Structure 1
Amino acid sequence: MAGHSKFKNIMHRKGAQDKKRAASFSKLSREITVAAKMGTPDPDMNPRLRLAVNAAKAVSMPKDNIQRAIDKASRSDAENYEEVRYEGYGPGGIAIIVEALTDNRNRTATNVRTAFSKNGGNLGASGAVSHGFDRMGLITYPASVGDADTIFEAALEAGAEDVTSGEDEHEIWTAMDALHEVAKALEDKLGPAEGAKLAWKPQTTVELDEANAATLLKLVDTLDDDDDVQTVWGNYEVPDDVMAKLG
């Protein structure tokens, strides 16, 4: 299992599904509000908002919740969230990038730093690890949408740069500035994506043994439980047999 899918398989292993679902709605609501505030509240005219709304629909977030998040952007008492990125090292020396939307930088920085220090890692300075990643667009579809060949052809025609198909999902990688265009083209062919956003793709990966992978799970859970944290990216590889033991 590779670490460039927002630790998706780790987060969706056994247990805590309802808790993760609630947290996912909270994070998606925040992204929808920020996207609506940065542009127009109309998803058809705001590419970032459109992607956020589609991601919310993909996990069955209620329409009322989505609309409330959009409406919140125009309220005078709405929180002012800012995008913040943290970089550091996790167990086994893996590189980790944490993206957050926060209304209190001091709180978020303290929480992220504590999560790293208590789980075999340490927070670094800005730029400490991002040079080992490529900034790209990532569009995901569930495996049920089609076989690898079908998805590859559709992605190629839409202008994507790379496709990785696994048992659970298809990952479609695009140039950073082509994300919205490719996502729209794929939506016309395959329907709304499960997720579409800017991502950090590792240039190389580090394989973790069982001990370091177990510590990684704790670190990811801690970060994922923080309301301010939106996404976590890493350059790890966890062998399937190790993941099965830790599942």
Structure 2
Amino acid sequence: MAGHSKYKNIMYRKGAQDKKRSSLFSKLSREITVAAKMGLPDPEANARLRAAVIAARAQSMPKDNIQRSIDKASGNDVENYEEIRYEGFGPGGVAIIVEALTDNRNRTATNVRTAFSKNGGNLGTGGSVSHGFERLGLIEYSASAGDDEKVLEAAIEAGADDVQSDEGGHRIWTSVENLHEVAKALEPLLGEGEGAKLAWKPTTEVEVRGDEAAQLMKLIDALEDDDDVQTVWGNYDVPEDELEKLG
């Protein structure tokens, strides 16, 4: 079990997401509806829906909004969303994975390709970068959940595989198969987390500085601004002094 790792890049992204709260609510709502449609509309009996609801609560989405998103799954007018993954390269040779939920594959593909090409990147083919990532389960907790030692002990007891902690919070890694079992085991130990989801963890990181770092963040912002894009993963490491320049 590893106890420490860089968290600053993730927190920079979270800060950017906080500025897009209305867009974020829309994406969380879409994930809730899709999860409810794919399984039972009960978070206790549907692991993906439970994870989506926890993520929504962590972003202070009102209970009524969450319930409406669940109820929408059983309606006749619900859109049919398709899950799509795009892979490409950003400034500095950074590998990027984009996950989307869309009701119009052509629209989303065009928007993602445009975001890459306008911001110093290029869209690759399926599998062009995912070989450099591990598919794992990720459970996130804020720093208020406890100090590094407390979270590490809880993670070991719950059956997690790895922990990364920093001043911004804690990221607890599991196998894909054990994600929701570990998430449930952590709740009586640490409380409800900020989310539990499948993630792409890079096996190596690429340090990016200067103009390339600024352009990379513009690319990620452009991708995250798209309504169809749910998550953006990358193997970048932007040093703290560079992040401060970016504000």
Name the TM-score, length of structure 1 as normaliser: 0.95
Report Cα offsets for 1:128-170 as digits up to 9, x if no partner: 0000000000100000110000000000110111000011110
The equivalent of 2:167 in structure 1 is: 167
SS of structure 2 residue aligned to 1:177:
coil
Find out whether 1:42 has 2:42 as its counterpart.
Answer: yes
Alpha-carbon distance, 1:11 to partner: 4.5
The equivalent of 1:103 in structure 2 is: 103
The equivalent of 1:193 in structure 2 is: 193
SS of structure 2 residue aligned to 1:128:
coil
The equivalent of 1:86 in structure 2 is: 86
Alpha-carbon distance, 1:195 to partner: 1.5
Determine the C-alpha separation between the residues in 2 that align with 1:186 and 1:17: 25
Q: Which amino acid aligns with 2:137?
A: G
Q: Which amino acid aligns with 1:53?
A: V
Q: Which amino acid aligns with 1:185?
A: A
Equivalent pairs counted in the alignment come to 243
Determine the C-alpha separation between the residues in 1 that align with 2:183 and 2:210: 37
Matches for 1:65-144 after TM superposition, within 5 Å: 65-144=65-144
Alpha-carbon distance, 1:8 to partner: 4.3
Q: Which amino acid aligns with 1:52?
A: A
Determine the C-alpha separation between the residues in 2 that align with 1:71 and 1:4: 37
Q: Which amino acid aligns with 2:52?
A: A
SS of structure 2 residue aligned to 1:41:
coil
SS of structure 2 residue aligned to 1:176:
coil
Q: Which amino acid aligns with 2:101?
A: L
Determine the C-alpha separation between the residues in 2 that align with 1:167 and 1:219: 26
Contact 1:4/1:202 (<8 A) preserved: no
Alpha-carbon distance, 1:10 to partner: 3.0
Gap change, CA 1:244 and 1:216, over 3 Å in 2 = same
Gap change, CA 1:4 and 1:183, over 3 Å in 2 = farther
Determine the C-alpha separation between the residues in 1 that align with 2:220 and 2:79: 26
Contact 2:27/2:230 (<8 A) preserved: yes
**Two-structure CA RMSD over aligned residues (Å):** 1.6
Structure 2 segments unaligned to the other structure (5+ residues): none
SS of structure 2 residue aligned to 1:42:
coil
Determine the C-alpha separation between the residues in 2 that align with 1:8 and 1:148: 17
SS of structure 1 residue aligned to 2:65:
helix
Q: Which amino acid aligns with 1:145?
A: A
Gap change, CA 1:214 and 1:25, over 3 Å in 2 = same
Report Cα offsets for 1:69-94 as digits up to 9, x if no partner: 00110011100011100000000000
Determine the C-alpha separation between the residues in 2 that align with 1:140 and 1:198: 11
Alpha-carbon distance, 1:217 to partner: 1.2
Question: Which residue among 8, 12, 18 is the counterpart of 1:9?
Answer: 12
Determine the C-alpha separation between the residues in 2 that align with 1:26 and 1:54: 15
SS of structure 2 residue aligned to 1:30:
helix
Name the TM-score, length of structure 2 as normaliser: 0.95
Report Cα offsets for 1:197-241 as digits up to 9, x if no partner: 000000000000111110011111111111100000000000001
Contact 2:6/2:164 (<8 A) preserved: no
Gap change, CA 1:194 and 1:17, over 3 Å in 2 = closer
Gap change, CA 1:85 and 1:4, over 3 Å in 2 = farther
Structure 1 segments unaligned to the other structure (5+ residues): none
The equivalent of 1:22 in structure 2 is: 22
Determine the C-alpha separation between the residues in 2 that align with 1:220 and 1:2: 19
The equivalent of 1:158 in structure 2 is: 158
SS of structure 1 residue aligned to 2:160:
coil
The equivalent of 1:236 in structure 2 is: 236
